[in-house]
Amino acid sequence: MLRESKTIHLRRAVAASFFFATVSLSCLVLLGDVDSHRFLSSFHSSYSLSGFTRIFPSVYNDPVATSNEYPLEKILNDAAMKDRTVILTTLNEAWATPNSVIDLFLESFRIGDRTSTFLNHLVIIALDQKAFARCQVIHTHCFSLVSEEADFHEEAYFMTPRYLMMMWKRIDFLRTVLEMGYNFVFTDADIMWFRDPFPQFDLHADFQIACDHFTGGFDDVQNRPNGGFNYVKSNNRSIEFYKFWYSSRETYPGYHDQDVLNFIKVHPFITDIGLKMRFLDTTNFGGLCEPSRDLNQVCTMHANCCLGMDSKLHDLRIMLQDWKHYLSLPPSLKRLSVVSWRVPQKSLNLSCTLIQQKRVLKNKIFIA
């Protein structure tokens, strides 16, 4: 009798459980049309697509790959030295392709004499989306300065409207950096860094700039400055100078920033604001226009006075080879300064060829 009673209670419990399970399932079916789509849509958008694009950002237009994740202030602050100095360069798609200018530029820091740490302070300013995406792959500090007004992704040939717009955009951006309280070394990406340039800078100058031709005097306005390399301190004088420089493009339409600088370097406004301008010796800051005379003293070498991407890349690679050869020499041969540059080789600039011929006449042993 007791066993039968237990059996009856067990059957009733199973039946009750089945009843409640059936009711619950029916409720889910009735509510499914309302909630299932919402749930699946949420799951798809929150996990499936975003997860996929994080793993393969090149497949979709991932905003992290085409726009700044952090504001300029944070990027500059992260890259700055203790005295709020940053190293800046600009980059477009033409110079950003693998095995192109930007790779040679970064390599020079790595093989230079105690220059590799400067990479921690380098900010690459990308002028188009592909350059920005490449920067994120090869470097730590990248900032997108993509313009909706102009397309800078292709090679900007010298003095074309695209080239002029790109140069003046750079000047205006550098003024912004100064206004934010940061000193900077601006360097074109076709400048190879072989030594620490800071010991060569004048501590009291506001604006210091490399030259295509150096006359021998650091304050001689007859020097021919090159805007591809300059060291600028952030203060009221330098900020006012950059404003004046940028506004002078309207006074001299059709000229690029370097030509306009040559016009305004003797303007009374420079004296009025008290700007101390200094020109850098090509012995330390050379280029294809006027190569450094001594590899024991060279800090940077610029592929200036060189037209065309192929010619530029060829001579930049030769520069790096020459530097590696110099480093391999014993100290005694380095001190004798028995080697010099084999460049320019493919430059189309006649002045470069004439300067190179003068170098040969100095009875130096050129690298074979």
Condensed to tens digits (0 to 9), the pLDDT of residues 290-312 reads 998 899 999 999 999 998 899 99
Q: What is the pLDDT of residue 61?
A: 39
Q: What is the pLDDT of residue 72?
A: 97
- What's the pTM value of the predicted model, to 2 decimals? 0.76
Q: Which of these three, 279, 310, 341, is where a domain ends?
A: 279
CATH of the domain at 256: 3.90.550
Average pLDDT over residues 115-126: 98
Same-domain pairing of 125 and 158: yes
- Bridging pattern class, strands 183-187 and 224-232: antiparallel
Answer whether 339's CB lies under 8 Å from 327's CB.
Answer: no
Same-domain pairing of 249 and 327: no
Residue type for 145, please? L
- Give the position of tokens 């920005």: 132
Crossing angle between the packed helical segments 101-111 and 129-138, to the nearest 10 degrees: 30
Both structure tokens of 100 = 């192109």
More confident residue, 253 or 9: 253
CA distance 350 to 61: 46
Domain count, the chain: 2
Is residue 37, in this structure, part of any structural domain at all?
A: no
- Has residue 152 got a pLDDT over 60? no
Same-domain pairing of 317 and 253: no
Domain that holds residue 309: 286-362
Same-domain pairing of 243 and 348: no
Same-domain pairing of 90 and 224: yes
Answer whether 132's CB lies under 8 Å from 126's CB.
Answer: yes
Q: Which of these three, 235, 254, 279, is where a domain ends?
A: 279
Same-domain pairing of 127 and 227: yes
- Give the position of tokens 């909706």: 148
More confident residue, 193 or 49: 193
